[in-house]
Amino acid sequence: MRIDIITLFPELLSNSFEISIIRRAIRKKKVEIFFHNLRDFSKNKYKQVDDYPYGGGSGMVLMIEPIFKCINKLKSKRNYDEIIYLTPEAKVLDQKMANTCSLKENIIILCGHYKGIDQRVRDHLISLEVSIGKYVMSGGELAAVVFCDSIIRLIPGVLGNESSALNDSFQDNIIAPPIYTRPASFNDWKVPEILLSGDQKKIEKWREIKSTEKTIKIKHD
Ligand code: ADE
């Protein structure tokens, strides 16, 4: 998979991809990530990429022209399966969406900033809008990290043990059961006896029950 991220703040993103599973995915060549600074596509000598909203109102709006130029440059080199805009005004990312996006070859991610982007970008250039939650952040960069992490770990061969992504919470709309590791007792807080019993059948049953309990609890909270 190739991911091109268009942003005003590449430095906010780059470090996040240099750790743990994403770094491994990059090293294994399962994913390539490129950053494109929107300011490089400004025709303005001050590298301006935003302007006041028509009709008045507070905040600045990202202009269409630099975004158009950047997307066009990328599109002239290869086909993209999806051009994604991260915004709180969209369907909220879930596991199903992450699964679907993890199967794409090439995607572009546009991070918004300031008040938003010119609506014509959304109408004519974007194929998918994604929110990471019903709250507003100052920009799409951190949302891009969340989105990329959720899809990259699903690319076949990225996780050491293929089944570990299939067992993730939400893969079947079910939350994973509690997990424990050594020591079996810490501060007198004990690991449930059954997990130490070696009785795999009973353990599976226990895990199923705990998963169901957690799933019901989260749905009702
Ligand atoms: N940009 C700002 N807030 C966001 C959110 N909640 N999801 C995606 N992009 C965003």
What pLDDT score does 67 carry? Answer: 98
What are the φ/ψ torsions at residue 110 (nearest 5 degrees)? -105, 125
**Which atom of ligand 1 lies closest to the CA of 140?**
1
Task: Per-residue pLDDT tens, the chain, 221 aa: give them.
Answer: 999 999 999 999 999 999 999 999 999 999 999 999 999 999 989 999 999 999 999 999 999 999 999 999 999 999 999 999 999 999 999 999 999 999 999 999 999 987 899 999 999 999 999 999 999 999 999 999 999 999 999 999 999 775 677 778 887 888 999 999 999 999 999 999 999 999 999 999 999 999 999 999 988 77
Ligand 1 pocket, Cβ-based, cut-off 6 angstroms? 86-88, 112, 131-133, 135-137, 140, 143
**In this structure, are 193 and 114 located in the same domain?**
no
Q: Where are the beta strands (DSSP E) in the chain?
A: 2-7, 32-37, 50-51, 61-62, 82-86, 106-111, 116-117, 128-130, 185-186, 189-190
The total number of structural domains that make up the chain: 2
**In this structure, are 44 and 93 located in the same domain?**
yes
**Nearest CA residue ID for atom 4, ligand 1:** 88
Rounded to whole angstroms, the Cα distance separating 45 from 43 reads 7
**Nearest CA residue ID for atom 1, ligand 1:** 140
**In this structure, are 147 and 181 located in the same domain?**
no
Distances (CA, A) of 5 to 46, 69, 162, 192: 22, 14, 27, 45
- Whether residue 169 lies inside any domain: the answer is no
Strand pairing category for 116-117 and 61-62: parallel
Q: Tell me the per-residue pLDDT of 28-79, one tens digit each, with 9 for 90 and over.
A: 999 999 999 999 999 989 999 999 999 999 999 999 999 999 999 999 999 9
Question: Token pair for residue 92?
Answer: 């909220």
Pocket test for ligand 1, best of 86, 115, 145, 148 (most atoms within 8 A of CB): 86
* Count of Cβ atoms closer than 10 Å to residue 72 Cβ: 11
**In this structure, are 87 and 184 located in the same domain?**
no
**In this structure, are 110 and 30 located in the same domain?**
yes
**In this structure, are 73 and 124 located in the same domain?**
yes
What pLDDT score does 135 carry? Answer: 95
Pocket test for ligand 1, best of 87, 111, 141, 146 (most atoms within 8 A of CB): 87
At 19, which amino acid appears? I
Q: Which helix (H) or strand (E) holds 26?
A: helix 20-27
Domain that includes residue 215, residue range: 174-220
Burial 79-101 (b: 16+ CB within 10 A, else e): ebbbbbbbbbebeebebebbeeb
Q: 132: closest CA among 149, 118, 146?
A: 146
**In this structure, are 132 and 212 located in the same domain?**
no
**In this structure, are 129 and 210 located in the same domain?**
no
What pLDDT score does 162 carry? Answer: 57
- Whether residue 160 lies inside any domain: the answer is no
What pLDDT score does 171 carry? Answer: 79
- Whether residue 168 lies inside any domain: the answer is no
Q: What CATH number does residue 214 fall under?
A: 1.10.1270.20
Tell me, in angstroms, the distance from the centre of ligand 1 to residue 137's CA: 5
**In this structure, are 138 and 201 located in the same domain?**
no
Q: What CATH number does residue 139 fall under?
A: 3.40.1280.10
**In this structure, are 146 and 178 located in the same domain?**
no
